[in-house]
């Protein structure tokens, strides 16, 4: 159980970083000031988990209870801003992190749903919200129709598929294997 917890926490951190970076780029594209960039990065990173925790009543929500989430986002924003000219080359790496983060945030959402005794369909919905909502709030704040709803990225479909795979594989292989598989879908 320790190895899966460590694995989860490493990938979750990578997910937070990747989402924060995607927030920085989206905010820069709209020419926001430094504070705007910081808020958008923050919201993209923690939005999904925050809505999930408010829906199930797990308050204070996760990022209020530790300090390292806030620090990770701050450091990510500063580094991304400093390196923004070079970072174009990392675009592909970013997409990999983003997909990993999305997959894992979905799985974390599902696990929290299970821990609260919710039914499987509801857990998949909750996982999808955890994975996707940060990006939705980012797009609302930047006055877009959420990319999620019309971009041909199979973004959300991935969440739902991953979540379903998670349920199907957990029974057969145990949670650790399921997590690896689901996150890689």
Rounded CA separation 16/8 (Å): 12
Is residue 45 within 8 Å of 134, Cβ to Cβ?
Answer: yes
Write out the H or E segment, with its range, that includes residue 28. Answer: helix 2-29
Interface map 82-121 toward its own copies (x if CB under 8 A): -------------------------------x--x-xx-x
Please report the DSSP string for 45-80 in residue order: HHHHHHHHHHHHT--S-HHHH-SHHHHHHHHHHHHH
- CB atoms under 10 Å from CB of 81, counted, come to 15
CB of 64 to its own copies, least distance (A): 5
Return the residue of 54, 75, 78, 115 that touches its own copies, per CB under 8 A: 54
Nearer to its own copies, 11 or 166 (CB): 166
Verify binding: residue 67, its own copies, rule CB under 8 A.
yes
- 144 near its own copies, rule: CB under 8 A: yes
Burial-class residue 85 by CB neighbours within 10 Å (0-12, 13-18, 19+): exposed
- Which string of x and - marks every residue 33-52 that binds its own copies (by CB under 8 A)? x-xx--xx-x-------x--
Stretch that binds its own copies, among 6-14, 18-26, 84-92, 135-143 (CB under 8 A): 135-143
Q: Which is nearer to its own copies, 11 or 51 (CB)?
A: 51
126 alpha carbon, distance to own chain's centre = 13
CA distance linking residue 118 with residue 126, whole number of Å: 10
Among 4, 14, 28, 32, binds its own copies (CB under 8 A): 32
Work out which of 6, 93, 157, 184 binds its own copies, going by CB under 8 A.
157
Tally of CB atoms within 10 A around 120:
14
The residue ranges that bind its own copies (CB under 8 A) are 27, 30-33, 35-36, 39-40, 42, 50, 54-57, 59-61, 63-65, 67, 70-71, 113, 116, 118-119, 121-122, 125-126, 136, 140-146, 148-150, 152, 156-157
């Amino acid at each position: 159980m320790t190895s899966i917890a460590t694995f989860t926490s490493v990938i979750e951190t990578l997910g937070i970083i990747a989402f924060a970076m995607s927030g920085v780029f989206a905010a820069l594209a709209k020419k926001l000031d430094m504070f705007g960039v910081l808020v958008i990065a923050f919201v993209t990173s923690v939005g999904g988990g925050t809505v999930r925790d408010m829906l199930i009543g797990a308050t204070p929500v996760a990022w209020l209870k530790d300090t390292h989430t806030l620090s990770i986002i701050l450091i990510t924003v500063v580094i991304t801003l400093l390196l923004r000219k070079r970072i174009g080359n990392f675009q592909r790496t970013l997409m990999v992190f983003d997909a990993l983060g999305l997959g894992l945030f979905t799985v974390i959402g599902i696990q929290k749903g299970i821990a609260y005794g919710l039914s499987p369909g509801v857990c998949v919905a909750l996982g999808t919200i955890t994975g996707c909502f940060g990006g939705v709030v980012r797009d609302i704040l930047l006055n877009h129709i959420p990319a999620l709803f019309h971009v041909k990225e199979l973004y959300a479909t991935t969440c739902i598929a991953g979540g379903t795979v998670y349920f199907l594989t957990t029974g057969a292989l145990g949670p650790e294997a399921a997590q690896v598989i689901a996150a890689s879908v």
